[in-house]
Structure 1
Amino acid sequence: MPGPSPDANLAEVLRQWTNAFGWSERAAFLCGDDVYTHGEVHRGAARVASLLRAHGVAPSDRVAIALPGSMELVWSFLGAVRIGAIAVLADPDASALPSAAFAVCTPGRHPHTITPVELIAALPAAAFADPYPVLPEAPAYGQHATTYAHRDPEESYLAMEPFGLRENDVLFSVSKTYDPVGLRNTIFLPLFTGSCAVLDSRQRSIPLVAEGVRRHRASVLLSTSAFLGRLAAERPEGDFAPLRLAVSQGATPPPSRVEQWLGCPVVTP
């Protein structure tokens, strides 16, 4: 059986996909008016990995990341995974953080912490950390007491592949980034497909989602069946242009009339 390898590290796998398909200069994330390329994502993650290591984070340590949808969250998540730590995503508004040796969060929430402001200030001078050798089955990240292995996100991406996400797609996720489904929608899908995702930490009301879709010209809405049920019940007047596709995720099939308000087909995994 093959031993641990840096090439099995999830953060390195995603970086290698970017290089293999020539996505470095393509937009990966839209955050407000800022645009971050796939290359910037992976360079930032390697620098944050170095910062975490300098703060004493070791392989297999749990790193709580309690941030809203932002580049600091993306870089911290991939940086922790890159050094073989276990990234534990948490709701930034939760009253308590999950048990962890270290945390990336606002001040005063954990005895061993780097804050988003400190992280951004230290990033330019940080070195690039090499990926830590792991087995594909090694834990990479956790949410809500569930732990996922380095290989798991690729399997999750393959389950979405039949929907034909494209390199020029802009993805908007109704589920937030720290949620298990939102993590896949917002981080893994764009980094596996060369597409771009919107980082938006606002509440997921129907008007705000519609405004976010229009502002960023999102082409794919990754929704929950509950959100689509609300859409059918509220019958909003605004439109969701320029969507070409909506994906409904959840146990309840979306109401058929939802396509009328979205103006695009709705598919269900």
Structure 2
Amino acid sequence: MRLRTTSAAAAAVLALSLTATACGGGGDSGGDGGDGEKIAIGIKFDQPGLGLKAKDGGFEGFDVDVATYVAGELGYEPDQIDWVEAPSAERENMISRGDVDFIAATYSITDARKEKVDFAGPYMIAHQDLLIRADESEISEATDLNEKQLCSVSGSTSAQNVKDELAPKANLQTYGTYSECLSGLTNGVVDALTTDDAILAGYAAQPQHEGKFKLAGLSLSDEHYGIGLKKGDTELRADINAALEKMVEEGAWTESVEKHFGPAGYDPGEAPEITEKS
């Protein structure tokens, strides 16, 4: 078992008890979970279906389930988890500073990021897509975005990929959260929101957005979601990978997928093979 070191700064930022239960595993793993120590985990707070802070103060979503399961396998009970908001642009900094023990926040594994942090997983493969207004004409290819207002969040690879490789004349706008992009899409300030289809499906499936938006259905890239952790922590990476494999084997991974993505009609496919081992 890894010696757990939770940053005092992270604990001061957020000391919340988990209200959403994991889909399985971890409870009988033993470990040192009864000694009152905490583990700080970075997630998104504004991504329905993945990482969302609910009105009652609890947290829900597929990433939350994955992180809770992993924490359980590391020896932590749900009430020993400090959930810390992890904006896209700050994830590497949070890990490097020790603000969190690991991050599960739609965190795509890239070579550039691996220069700064290590990853475990992947635990899911998503595909970059576009969310547009339901009454808009179809966008059949990325070049249709040229001269249009494209939105994504700061630090995300999605929008820059479109801008650099697919639609160089698109007018890129970046905000701090996807919720801000969604407001711009609702108000007509932007024409499309781009990020991974899993994230977009979560927004489109929310009751308040039902019938207002649609996915363009483009697979612009493959995004391998991994769990980010401090560079060089090979022991923790091995422990997390083992937990992810157990989550899949026990069926908890599939249960969580059906729970959070089923209502949106989104199917991420099978759990991917773990490749981040060294």
TM-score by length of 2: 0.28
Relative contact order higher in (CA < 8 Å, ≥ 6 apart)? 2
